[in-house]
């Protein structure tokens, strides 16, 4: 029966190859949307781990996590350096790393921080950052490069770089009076760290000497800069690790009620959860559209099967004369649809893996974590859902054949 179904399918291969392709592509799209969703979530989730709280000026919690960890968007306000020092000295705090954002290097974000960043920041299940070469900050004008940045501009330790004020798009606001020297390059992490340029907080203060009005009023030399107090007045946000995670809520409340200035503390997990909520509308729309494409694929399969049904009534009558029961004819047609749907689903899955493998090779510097993994439970569910609905679609032409053969018997219609 399977042989018979196969040769029947092969006979109509021109039409069926197109349907097979549309099934393959729709399944790839459908599963691809799911996978993109999962990849973006896991990429976000694995970027920050081990940090219990993020503290910054009052803003939305999604906004705060986006600019301080994912380097998306910008801070509206800074928080006082005093507040950082005060909070960092609390008993509950194990470590606190300040971040100062706002400058850039050739389109990549410059992150002002301290050496603590390299020892405390962790990602993807408590992996620590590690240095590919060189050493962390030794002077206010040291710079540590993320792997992608070093890669793109072929920088190595000892190179001098010049950072720009703000996003640095017009090339007018270069901090070219104070170059930084590369002291280290980080190992690849698959997180936004790869696309960051780290400098000491003092360096950030130094390059802004003479910029107090937002424009460069006077040019400061390196010697002059080093001769003044480079302690910053403000930082953008602070990553905090607590001694006891259980204290996170209490500490968060304390920060939110901080008397000296309006601050907020967020739990990264809760902020991410809110982020998923924001993304879910778009995700639902995409899922819906891709599911609709699958349905269209199945309808085209159905159309192709039903369009030739009249012509196939002759075949059915012949098979009846050879002793086929209507049930066997049902099975024949059903097997045909089943073979086609299964082939389409499987090749869709395979195509998805091919695309993902290619992407993971070509986009390894994107900061997205794309390595192909086995299908997740949800993906299997969607895969089975497609397979089952395809199979159910196949019942329709099969039932038609069954009914035709009951009414036609062996009379051959022209």
Partner 1 sequence: MIQLENVRFTWKEGETLINIPELIVSRGEKVMLRGESGCGKTTLLTLISGIQTVDSGVLKVDDIELKTLKSSKRDKFRGDHMGYIFQQFNLIPWLSIQKNILCSTTFSTLKKEREKESLDTRVEMLMAELKLDRLKDKPVRELSLGQQQRVALARALVGHPPLIIADEPTSSLDSGNRSSFMNLLVKECEKEGSTLFVVSHDSHIDDHFDRIIDFHHLNGGHND
Kindly list the residues in this chain that would bind partner 1 in the complex (CB under 8 A): 1, 4, 7-8, 10-12, 314-315, 318-325, 327-328, 409-412, 414
* Chain-centre distance for alpha carbon 76: 25
Shortest separation between residue 296's beta carbon and partner 1, angstroms: 27
**Among residues 123 and 319, whose Cβ is nearest to partner 1?**
319
**Among residues 7 and 126, whose Cβ is nearest to partner 1?**
7
Shortest separation between residue 300's beta carbon and partner 1, angstroms: 21
Shortest separation between residue 329's beta carbon and partner 1, angstroms: 10
**Among residues 214 and 409, whose Cβ is nearest to partner 1?**
409
**Among residues 335 and 386, whose Cβ is nearest to partner 1?**
335
| Residues 328, 334, 336, 342, CA torsion sign | negative
* Chain-centre distance for alpha carbon 410: 60
**Among residues 332 and 370, whose Cβ is nearest to partner 1?**
332
**Among residues 328 and 342, whose Cβ is nearest to partner 1?**
328
CA distance 73 to 335: 54
Question: Which residues have CB under 8 Å from 272's CB, separation 6+?
Answer: 44, 45, 65
Shortest separation between residue 320's beta carbon and partner 1, angstroms: 7
**Among residues 208 and 312, whose Cβ is nearest to partner 1?**
312
Shortest separation between residue 398's beta carbon and partner 1, angstroms: 17
3-state secondary structure the chain: CHHHHHHHHHHCHHHHHHHHHHHHHHHHHHHHHHHHHHHHHHHHHHHCECCCEEEEECCCHHHHHHHHCCCCCCCCCCEEHHHHHHHHCCCCEEEEEEEEEEEEECCEEEEEECCHHHHHCEECCCEECCEEEECCCCCCCEEEECHHHHHHHCCCCCCEECCECCCCCCCCCECCCCCEEEEEEECCCCCHHHHEEEEEHHHHHHHCCCCCCCCCCCCCCHHHHHHCCCCCCEECEEEEEECCHHHHHHHHHHHHCCCCCCEEEECHHHHHHHHHHHHHHHHHHHHHHHHHHHHHHHHHHHHHHHHCHHHHHHHHHHHHHCCCCHHHHHHHHHHHHHHHHHHHHHHHHHHHHHHHHHHHHHCCCCCCCCCCCCCCHHHHHHHHHHHHHHHHHHHHHHHHHHHHHHHHCCCCCC
Shortest separation between residue 304's beta carbon and partner 1, angstroms: 15
Shortest separation between residue 353's beta carbon and partner 1, angstroms: 33
**Among residues 12 and 90, whose Cβ is nearest to partner 1?**
12
**Among residues 171 and 323, whose Cβ is nearest to partner 1?**
323
Shortest separation between residue 317's beta carbon and partner 1, angstroms: 8
User: Which token pair is 23?
Assistant: 């099934």
**Among residues 158 and 323, whose Cβ is nearest to partner 1?**
323
With beta carbons less than 8 A apart as the criterion, state whether 38 and 378 touch.
yes
**Among residues 188 and 320, whose Cβ is nearest to partner 1?**
320
Shortest separation between residue 336's beta carbon and partner 1, angstroms: 11
Shortest separation between residue 338's beta carbon and partner 1, angstroms: 18
With beta carbons less than 8 A apart as the criterion, state whether 82 and 409 touch.
no
With beta carbons less than 8 A apart as the criterion, state whether 68 and 266 touch.
no
Shortest separation between residue 195's beta carbon and partner 1, angstroms: 58
With beta carbons less than 8 A apart as the criterion, state whether 307 and 297 touch.
no
């Amino acid at each position: 029966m399977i042989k018979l179904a196969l040769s029947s399918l092969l006979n109509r291969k021109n039409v069926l190859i197109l349907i097979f392709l549309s099934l393959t592509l729709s399944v790839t799209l459908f599963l691809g949307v799911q996978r993109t969703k999962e990849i973006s979530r896991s990429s976000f989730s694995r970027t920050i781990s081990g940090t219990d709280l993020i503290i910054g000026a009052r803003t939305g919690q999604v906004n705060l996590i986006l600019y301080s960890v994912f380097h998306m968007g910008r801070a509206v306000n800074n928080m006082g350096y005093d507040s950082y020092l005060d909070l960092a000295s609390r008993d509950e705090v194990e470590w606190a790393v300040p971040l100062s954002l706002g400058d850039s290097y050739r389109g990549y974000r410059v992150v002002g921080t301290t050496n603590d960043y390299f020892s405390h920041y962790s990602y993807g299940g408590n992996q620590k950052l590690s240095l590919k070469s060189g050493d962390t900050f030794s002077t206010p004008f040291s710079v540590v490069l993320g792997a992608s940045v070093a890669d793109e501009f072929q920088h190595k330790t000892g190179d001098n770089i010049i950072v720009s004020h703000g996003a640095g798009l017009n090339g007018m606001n270069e901090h070219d009076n104070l170059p930084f020297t590369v002291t280290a390059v980080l190992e690849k992490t698959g997180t936004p760290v790869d696309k960051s340029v780290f400098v000491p907080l003092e360096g950030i203060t130094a390059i802004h000497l003479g910029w107090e009005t937002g424009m460069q009023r006077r040019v400061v030399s390196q010697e002059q800069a080093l001769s003044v107090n480079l302690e910053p007045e403000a930082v953008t946000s602070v990553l905090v690790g607590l001694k006891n995670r259980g204290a996170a809520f209490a500490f968060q409340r304390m920060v939110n009620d901080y008397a000296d200035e309006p601050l907020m503390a967020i739990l990264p997990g809760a902020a991410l959860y809110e982020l998923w909520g924001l993304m879910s509308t778009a995700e639902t729309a995409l899922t819906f559209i891709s599911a609709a494409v699958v349905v269209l694929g199945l309808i085209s399969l159905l159309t192709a099967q039903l369009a030739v049904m009249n012509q196939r009534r002759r075949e059915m009558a012949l098979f009846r004369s050879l002793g086929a029961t209507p049930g066997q004819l049902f099975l024949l047609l059903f097997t045909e649809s089943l073979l086609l749907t299964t082939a389409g689903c499987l090749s869709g899955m395979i195509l998805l893996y091919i695309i993902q493998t290619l992407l993971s090779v070509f986009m390894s510097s994107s900061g997205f974590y794309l390595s192909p993994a086995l299908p997740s439970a949800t993906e299997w569910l969607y895969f089975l859902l497609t397979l089952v609905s395809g199979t159910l679609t196949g019942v329709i032409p099969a039932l038609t054949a069954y009914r035709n053969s009951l009414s036609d018997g062996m009379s051959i219609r022209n």
